[in-house]
């Protein structure tokens, strides 16, 4: 389970890699459950006064949210805090049937989570060795995610998001990590040219983007303390 990742550092990368403006307040370099991070979603396009659909490609926006999804059916902010730490990852295979994620998936509340790397533990030595997984070329990764906006009875609003994951049991790199004997998972890293298609895909077609990223395009290095 991927619960820790590294946000983008150079401000220029947001525009260069994802065609969005940099955040006004930069998130912390390291993001983990219940910490603020950023995600990218489509901007809803209102019809023109004549009822026509606006011309041009759909716009994207960068949104600050809590890492760890808060489902809309949660009753209180305290309950939201407890649940969100366990809802940072959504299994792509069960997302349409999960009570936690089904609404966001069917509601096309898909997003892209920009990151430079994510962390996994390597247990091959007998103890957990934190390992940084990044692209070989050093470029940012756009990871597929879901977002929600929860509103409490007192008007409090929590915008949140999670990362989608795929099976990695047979992945040449990612099968090495996580607890021995457990199913291996990895975040669903999108190809650079598929961002707009992912954000705009029909829910019935969105599952086609849930694929493991090529192992030869990733590198893994133990984290230096």
According to the model, what pLDDT value does residue 9 have? 83
According to the model, what pLDDT value does residue 51 have? 56
According to the model, what pLDDT value does residue 45 have? 64
CA distance 41 to 146: 9
According to the model, what pLDDT value does residue 25 have? 84
Query: Number of C-alpha atoms within 13 angstroms, CB side, residue 93?
Result: 6
| In a domain? residue 125 | no
> What's the pTM?
0.93
CATH number for the domain including 45? Answer: 3.90.1680.10
DSSP labels for the chain? ----EE---STHHHHHHHSSPPPSSPPPSEE-TTSEEEEEEEPP-PPPTTSPPPPSPPPEEEEEEEES---TT---HHHHHHHHTT-SEEETTTTTT-TTTHHHHHTT-EEEEEESEEEEEE-TTSS-EEEEEEETT---EEEEEEEEEEE-TTS-EEEEEEEEEEE-TT-TTGGGBSSTTSPPEEE-EEPGGGHHHHHH--HHHHGGG--PPPGGGEEEEEPP-
CA distance 67 to 200: 22
According to the model, what pLDDT value does residue 58 have? 75
| In a domain? residue 121 | no
| In a domain? residue 225 | no
- Structural domain boundaries, residue 86: 5-115+146-164+188-212
Contacts of 88 (CB under 8 A, 6+ apart): 1, 2, 3, 33, 67, 68, 69, 162, 163
What's the gap between Cα 90 and its chain centre? 9
Q: How many domains does the chain fold into?
A: 1
| In a domain? residue 177 | no
Q: Which residue stretches of the chain have pLDDT < 50?
A: none
According to the model, what pLDDT value does residue 46 have? 59
End-to-end CA distance of the chain: 21
**Residue where the block lists tokens 């396009």:** 45
CA distance 185 to 165: 6
| In a domain? residue 157 | yes
Contact criterion met (CB below 8 Å) for 67 and 88: yes
| In a domain? residue 96 | yes
| In a domain? residue 30 | yes
| In a domain? residue 134 | no
């Amino acid at each position: 389970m991927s619960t820790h990742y590294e946000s983008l550092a150079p401000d220029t990368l947001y525009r260069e890699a994802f065609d969005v403006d940099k955040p006004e307040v930069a998130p912390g370099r390291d993001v983990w459950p219940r910490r603020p991070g950023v995600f990218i979603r489509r901007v809803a396009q209102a019809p023109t006064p004549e009822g026509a659909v606006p011309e041009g490609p759909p716009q994207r926006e960068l949104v600050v949210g809590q890492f760890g999804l808060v489902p809309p059916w949660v009753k209180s902010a305290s309950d939201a805090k407890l649940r969100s730490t366990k809802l940072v990852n959504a299994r792509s295979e069960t997302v349409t049937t999960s009570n936690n994620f089904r609404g966001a998936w069917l509601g096309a509340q898909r997003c892209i989570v920009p990151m430079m790397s994510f962390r996994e533990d390597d247990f091959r030595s007998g103890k957990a060795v934190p390992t940084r997984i990044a692209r070989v070329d050093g470029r940012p990764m756009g990871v597929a995610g879901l977002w929600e906006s929860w509103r409490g009875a007192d008007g409090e609003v929590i915008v949140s998001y999670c990362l989608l994951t795929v099976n990695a049991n047979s992945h040449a790199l990612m099968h090495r990590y996580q607890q021995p004997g457990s199913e291996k998972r990895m975040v669903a890293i999108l190809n650079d040219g598929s961002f707009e298609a992912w954000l705009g895909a029909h829910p019935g077609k969105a599952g086609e983007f849930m694929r493991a990223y090529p192992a030869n395009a990733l590198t893994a290095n133990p984290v230096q303390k």
